[in-house]
Amino acid sequence: MRLYNTLSRGVEQVDPVEPGHVKMYTCGPTVYRYMHLGNLRTFMLADLIRRTLEFEGLRVTQVMNITDVGHMTDESSPEAVDKMLLAMEDEGLAPLEIATKYTESALADAQAVGIRLPDQLPKATEHVPEMLELTQTLLDRGHAYVVDSGSVYFDVTSFPGYGKLSGNTLDNLREGHRDLETDPRKRNAADFALWKAAGPGRVMKWESPWGEGFPGWHVECSAMSIEYLGERFDIHTGGTDLRFPHHEDEIAQSEGATGHQVVSIWVHGGHLRLSGQKIAKSTGNVIRVPELEERNLDPLAFRWLCFQTQYRSEMDFTWEAMETADQRVRQLRRHMAEWAPAAPALDTPAKGFDARFREAVADDLSMPTAVVVVNELDRSPEVEPAQKYALLASWDHVLSLDLEREAKAGWEPSEQMRALMAERDDARTAKDYTTSDRIRDELAAMGLEVMDTAEGTRVRPRG
């Protein structure tokens, strides 16, 4: 599989550090609010990469963090109000109850859109010791400094590669950049917090060598990715908004602490817009999985909708397009039920389609091309129905649209099968066993199990 690497600005072959075993890290949800479809599109990107690599026969270990500490941006001053506190005031729940509630809903929504849960889901609050250790290492190596308030900052001038991911090099960074903290005690405007002293508005805080405080958001991902995947791993994913400062700072921390490159390929997904508008919780311009279900739309069809757009591009969600995607997925499932059962082996035209599908997903996850291949196969007169079934069932390991749902739920023999069954029953009545055996073999060759019952010949898909 080849992927576009934001770091090198080119498409690269996934060449795992450990042969045959790809390790990937995904920036996960913040759990004091519900996830919306835009978040799910980003998590689906990681899921599709994982599924494609597994489809190619590789082993994949995927880790996704759960951000359950209330900080979100680096612009919050030590006095800023903890967003977790705001959620607690709104909902009357304790911090852990808030985190549990939104973690559960995030994972349920992810599964509803066909995302397989990562192998590990480490929580930030359970890895504060690792973050303190990383912060100490950066202090020891001269990449960080403590200010008198008890906060620890990363000194960006100590890391020559700063800016290599996002292009926001120190030369480009102007003082007062809106994404940067404005603590006057910092040495450089672009320095970012590894550890922040707890102000009065802080609910979740921990003891540290520098006083009571809480970890910076970026240090969370450096500490947990290295803890679970080691000092060199293959793929790191996230939304395009995380390139700067989050991932830029993560590179500075991880490479500053280890002294070498940690992540090989950085993959970033484009944003989702709603009917041309930016998703903004403040204006209520947000759609969640339960709203799809309320409209009788299959959440899995959101995948098919996402497949129409290249993952790096911005994508526009409209209800009309979502309804079209829903109808198309249902139609494919109906076709699968008509084509069942699967052919035992692929013939030449089917193999051609299979090669095209595999090439599309391996080519930097070209899902719009994969969709074209699915649509062409669906109406192709050259491929036998049983072969179409076998192909789509196999491709569904990547697509995850539950395409066999109808075929497995209520399978019915085709008209041709029913004609053969009636012919066989007539032969048996006439005691013509040669003919009845020949038809039984014919049905078996179609992938069917043939049963003799009191009502005559019955068939069902084998296996």
Give least dist CB 75 to Zn ion, A: 17
- Residue 270 CA to residue 251 CA, distance in Å, equals 21
Tell me: does residue 361 bind Zn ion (CB under 5 A).
no
Our CB check for Zn ion shows the closer of 99 and 332 to be 99
- Within 400-446, residue ranges assigned H as helices are 405-409, 415-429, 433-445
- Residue 338 CA to residue 419 CA, distance in Å, equals 16
Give least dist CB 144 to Zn ion, A: 19
Our CB check for Zn ion shows the closer of 221 and 392 to be 221
Our CB check for Zn ion shows the closer of 122 and 447 to be 122
- Residue 439 CA to residue 387 CA, distance in Å, equals 21
**Between the CA of residue 323 and those of 210, 385, 396, what are the distances in Å?**
55, 27, 21
Give least dist CB 22 to Zn ion, A: 19
* Chain center to CA of 402: 17
- Residue 162 CA to residue 249 CA, distance in Å, equals 8
Which residue shows structure tokens 């995607």?
A: 325
Which residue shows structure tokens 């700063």?
A: 162
Our CB check for Zn ion shows the closer of 248 and 354 to be 248
Of 97-105, 173-181, 215-223, 330-338, the segment contacting Zn ion by CB under 5 A is 215-223
Our CB check for Zn ion shows the closer of 84 and 399 to be 84
- Residue 139 CA to residue 436 CA, distance in Å, equals 83
**Between the CA of residue 293 and those of 39, 78, 404, what are the distances in Å?**
18, 41, 20
Our CB check for Zn ion shows the closer of 55 and 244 to be 244
What residues from 80 to 139 belong to the interface with Zn ion (CB under 5 A)?
none
Of 26-34, 192-200, 319-327, 441-449, the segment contacting Zn ion by CB under 5 A is 26-34
Give least dist CB 64 to Zn ion, A: 9
Element (H, E) at 233: strand 233-239
Tell me: does residue 165 bind Zn ion (CB under 5 A).
no
Q: Which residue of 146, 221, 292, 439 would you call a contact of Zn ion, by CB under 5 A?
A: 221
Whose CA is closest to 105, among 7, 23, 35? 35
Give least dist CB 268 to Zn ion, A: 12
Tell me: does residue 46 bind Zn ion (CB under 5 A).
no
Give least dist CB 126 to Zn ion, A: 16
Tell me: does residue 219 bind Zn ion (CB under 5 A).
no
Of 24-32, 107-115, 281-289, 407-415, the segment contacting Zn ion by CB under 5 A is 24-32
Task: Say whether 377 sits in a helix, a strand or coil.
Answer: helix
Of 25-33, 71-79, 184-192, 303-311, the segment contacting Zn ion by CB under 5 A is 25-33
Q: Which residue of 7, 22, 27, 180 would you call a contact of Zn ion, by CB under 5 A?
A: 27
Give least dist CB 207 to Zn ion, A: 24
Our CB check for Zn ion shows the closer of 61 and 387 to be 61
- Name 87's Cβ contacts closer than 8 Å, sequence gap at least 6: 32, 33, 70, 93, 98
Give least dist CB 27 to Zn ion, A: 3
Task: Say whether 68 sits in a helix, a strand or coil.
Answer: coil
Give least dist CB 26 to Zn ion, A: 8
Give least dist CB 147 to Zn ion, A: 24
Our CB check for Zn ion shows the closer of 221 and 337 to be 221
What Rg do the C-alpha atoms of the chain give, in angstroms?
Answer: 27
Tell me: does residue 289 bind Zn ion (CB under 5 A).
no
Which residue type occupies 323? E
- Name 296's Cβ contacts closer than 8 Å, sequence gap at least 6: none
* Size of interface with Zn ion, in residues (CB under 5 A): 2
Whose CA is closest to 268, among 317, 313, 222? 313
Instruction: For CA atoms 393, 396, 400, 403, give the dihedral sign.
Output: negative
Our CB check for Zn ion shows the closer of 221 and 267 to be 221
* Chain center to CA of 434: 56
Give least dist CB 238 to Zn ion, A: 6
Of 23-31, 117-125, 192-200, 342-350, the segment contacting Zn ion by CB under 5 A is 23-31
Of 219-227, 329-337, 400-408, 433-441, the segment contacting Zn ion by CB under 5 A is 219-227
**Between the CA of residue 28 and those of 107, 291, 306, 463, what are the distances in Å?**
10, 22, 19, 38
- Phi-psi map region of 364: left, alpha, beta (phi>0 left; psi -120 to 50 alpha): left
Pairing between β-strand 315-317 and β-strand 272-274 as defined by DSSP bridges: parallel
Our CB check for Zn ion shows the closer of 56 and 241 to be 241
Give least dist CB 124 to Zn ion, A: 10
Whose CA is closest to 403, among 308, 359, 339? 339
The residue ranges that bind Zn ion (CB under 5 A) are 27, 221
